[in-house]
Chains A and B, each alone.
Chain A
């Protein structure tokens, strides 16, 4: 782990698309007038013929990508996550997913990361909506490395994927680790008292919380659930069989997100005590990213408090 080195996932997206542009002639990239924000602009400059800026029209963009995919291309459709997944929801369902098309839906500025733009721009129900789409893989990378590897893998996958992308620079966690494995949970550390299942940016907070809990004599197992769908049930069940309790942590509403996915699976396969960290059923607001996460209960302290409660309760 290298906490000093910070790179944003969007920057990594820009770079990996440029790299894939030469390796994969079927790759086309579409953006909805936010390419300089999402960083797909770099692909556009290198491969102008394979880049389509459709203006502020996310639904239209998703369908154009669908048409291209039906004719042999591998499109990446990029926009702000909230508008891509909500304005484009019906297109994602009825064109991309119903027809099982190989399209990557790249949701930028996800979670609370578009922090200063306020609640209207913060994407905290996207996982819930995307998870309900048949055929769609849902991936929440935890750092720029995972993002890069996820895009590299899913561009070759014969079906659609939603990849959630944070706006801000975040620590590079997996530079020296095994590569991201689609559909597999990555175990960050072994533990025996409680499982913390986390996805995306809050992984750093989870790791710091685990450190503090260790000093209090609590052994935490951390699971990085970067593939929300399909969910790696086996790893989850094996972990809670050992720890007997689980806390989920995500930058998303607690309704329908990764926590819900974990609860659905465990309730059926191996019920244990569970609690959820995420945004409660409310609208968020404008503010600096980290402070915003903290205010809405996605912080090291919130993780420690809820973990302690699970252990004591």
Chain B
């Protein structure tokens, strides 16, 4: 693990042992979580809750599954990722930088004037971002367009769309879901980061989505038989294995996650959707996050 920081993903992607690979990704995701925590504390704004929520899902996609090439980010044959819950941009940027799409040093320019790292992802500014997002509800429709394009061009790339609870409040998401059931493109996966907390409060108070799996099924989509643990990399790997086995039709995978994952007093609390990480919370939080990192490090050695 010596060169982990300088060259993090090759070390992982070359790993033949699946269990070892999953722990390495687990470690990587936690490192990204810590880096995002530091970055947002320093910046004074940005969305910690939703970023932390998808650390493992995004890391597993980029390090275990997706075919992407930082040397040629616009390769028409690449797999695509749409972060429909675009406010989780800090986590996406962190992973893209560590994969080599742009220098890690540039992460410190996030949300600053003249930076290519906008408050929400912008595909024409940041290498590796496959779609501009942030306004909720777009991901499924745009992703469907990409997946249909693949079928028309006889390409076999995958299109992943990560949606959050807020995203599924938007009517357009359900228009997109209806259309997905109609057009049925292959290798199209809707992944729900189901942390059950939105900006103003718990979904149960603001806009309940349950029973979510049943809703997707009622819309005639192929939904994974179980809700996966979205913070357990091995579970996420298994969910992607299921998607692979079902690649002929669009797939929906729901992950149980926690907003603000990794810092006990922030977890599942809507106040940390986009709240500023103050100095006191930072110093308490970083201890917890670092302890978990150490745990994965010990598992690796």
Residues of A within 8 A of B (CB): 28, 49-50, 52, 54-55, 57, 59-60, 63-73, 90-91, 94-95, 98-100
Contact = CB atoms under 8 A, between A and B. Distances in A.
B154 to A, nearest CB: 11
A164 B149 CA distance: 26
Contacts of B142: 63-64, 66-67, 70, 95
A52 B134 CA distance: 26
A94 B175 contact: no
A72 B172 contact: no
27 contacts: A49-B152, A50-B152, A55-B179, A57-B179, A59-B141, A60-B172, A63-B145, A64-B142, A64-B144, A64-B148, A65-B145, A67-B142, A68-B146, A70-B123, A70-B142, A70-B145, A71-B149, A71-B153, A72-B76, A72-B149, A91-B138, A91-B141, A94-B134, A94-B135, A95-B138, A99-B131, A99-B132
A77 to B, nearest CB: 10
A71 B178 contact: no
B221 interface: no
B124 interface: yes
Contacts of B172: 57, 59-60, 63, 91
Closest 5 CB pairs of A and B: A67-B145, A63-B141, A71-B149, A60-B175, A67-B142
A68 to B, nearest CB: 4
B143 interface: yes
Contacts of B147: 67
B148 A54 contact: no
Nearest to A30: B145
Interface string B101-136: 000000000000000000000111000001110110
A98 B145 contact: no
A3 B148 CA distance: 44
A103 B132 CA distance: 16
A55 B178 contact: yes
B interface SS class: helix
Contacts of B149: 67-68, 70-73
A99 B123 contact: yes
Interface residues of B, number: 30
Contacts of A70: 123, 130-131, 142, 145-146, 149
B65 interface: no
Given A64-B142, A71-B145, A72-B76, 10 more contacts: A59-B175, A63-B141, A66-B145, A67-B148, A68-B148, A72-B153, A90-B135, A94-B132, A94-B135, A94-B138
Contacts of A72: 76, 149, 153
B240 interface: no
A68 B142 CA distance: 8
A299 to B, nearest CB: 40
Contacts of A73: 149, 152
A28 B152 contact: yes
Give the interface centre of B76, B142, B182, B183 by most chain A CB atoms within 10 Å: B142
A274 to B, nearest CB: 37
Contacts of B130: 70
Contacts of A57: 172, 175, 178-179
Contacts of B175: 54-55, 57, 59-60
Contacts of B134: 94
B150 interface: yes
Contacts of A98: 122, 132
B164 interface: no
Contacts of A65: 145
B159 to A, nearest CB: 8
B230 interface: no
B260 interface: no
A44 B113 CA distance: 46
